[in-house]
Amino acid sequence: MSILELIGILVALENPVVQERLAAMRVMTAVLDIFFKYEWHNFLHNLVKNLFEVIITGGSRAIKEAIFIDGKILTRIIDAHRANDE
């Protein structure tokens, strides 16, 4: 969990170089992998929710693309919803 807190702090700094490095290293894809793997971990989900709020309301274009394009967040949400319905 500490690594997610660190990522959140780095993103909140809104330093373009740091955010582009996080995007290039595919950190957001790994965060999404963890998020969907541990579907019942509320503390983890709150950390990720807060991280994504910071990214969506601010954040660089590169890190937003890392979530929406590289991380395929919309597809993952739809797939998780379908799996939950079944």
Write out pLDDT tens, residues 10-59. 999 989 999 999 899 999 999 999 999 998 999 999 999 999 999 999 86
pLDDT at residue 2 greater than cutoff 80: yes
Query: In the numeric block, which tokens belong to residue 72?
Result: 């395929």
Percent helix / strand / coil, the chain, rounded to 5: 80, 0, 20
Give the torsion sign (CA, 17, 22, 24, 25): positive
0.85 surpassed by pTM? yes
Residue partners of 68: CB distance under 8 A and separation at least 6: 74
Tokens of 70: 């590289």
Residues 68 and 76 sit within 8 Å (Cβ to Cβ): no
